[in-house]
């Protein structure tokens, strides 16, 4: 598989926008963008599902950026935020990052969580509230709300692992799952 010129230009723009706030010099942004696009082009044949190319490209970008920081001994306040990656992936077409069976399963498993944990995930992950806003709306301290959301994520993850065959990336994040009909109704 090969990148078309239109696709290459689209990726070049996306990567430039992603890297610019994280890299001090524009020349470094351009160098990193070229490096990432080269890695994408070389590894394109190894990508099993072409519709997952955007998230895959951003994971390459993240790893290349981390290597850049290490190579140049840059201490950065840049920390990968899952919300930022989700926003970037959301810019892609919905069908490329969406497994409707798995989404239905997650909704079903969410209902089985204790109410306070289900509510925490529904508000923050599905409802778009920040953890700070969630804390304010529910009369919790910010750290208490963060703990509640983390516990809820952990419980949901255990349910997913028990019910489905999750497919994880190299960081342990669940990116997809083989859904079991008996668990997810």
Segment 114-168, tens digit of pLDDT: 989 988 988 888 777 888 988 988 889 999 999 999 999 999 888 887 877 777 7
Residue 143: its pLDDT value, please? 94
H or E element: which one contains 176?
A: strand 174-178
Q: Is 169 helix (H, G, I), strand (E, B) or coil?
A: coil
* pLDDT of 81 above 50: no
Q: Kindly list the structural domains of the chain, giving each domain's residue range(s) and its CATH number in brackets, ordered by start.
A: 5-96 (1.10.1740), 100-178 (1.10.10.10)
Residue 142: its pLDDT value, please? 93
The model's pTM is 0.46
Is there a contact between 27 and 68 (Cβ–Cβ < 8 Å)?
Answer: no
φ, ψ for residue 171, nearest 5 deg: -95, 0
Residue 77: its pLDDT value, please? 43
Residue 176: its pLDDT value, please? 66
CA pseudo-torsion sign 131, 63, 53, 26:
positive
Question: Of 141, 16, 22, which is closest to residue 79 (Cα–Cα)?
Answer: 22
Mean pLDDT score, 49-55: 73
Pairwise CA distance, residues 105 & 180, whole Å: 9
């Amino acid at each position: 598989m090969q990148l078309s010129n239109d696709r290459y230009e689209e990726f070049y723009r996306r990567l430039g926008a992603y890297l610019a706030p994280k890299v001090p010099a524009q020349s470094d942004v351009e160098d990193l963008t070229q490096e990432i696009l080269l890695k994408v082009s070389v590894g394109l044949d190894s990508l099993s599902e072409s519709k997952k190319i955007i998230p895959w490209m951003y994971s390459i970008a993240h790893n290349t950026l981390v290597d850049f920081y290490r190579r140049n001994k840059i201490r950065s306040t840049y920390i990968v935020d899952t919300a930022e990656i989700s926003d970037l992936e959301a810019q892609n077409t919905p069908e490329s990052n969406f497994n409707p069976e798995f989404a239905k399963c997650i909704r079903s498993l969410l209902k089985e969580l204790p109410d306070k944990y289900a509510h925490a995930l529904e508000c923050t992950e599905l409802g778009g509230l920040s953890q700070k806003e969630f804390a304010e709306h529910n009369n919790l301290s910010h750290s208490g709300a963060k703990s509640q959301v983390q516990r809820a994520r952990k419980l949901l993850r255990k349910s997913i692992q028990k019910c489905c065959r999750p497919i994880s990336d190299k960081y342990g994040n669940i990116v997809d799952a083989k859904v079991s009909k008996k668990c997810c109704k």
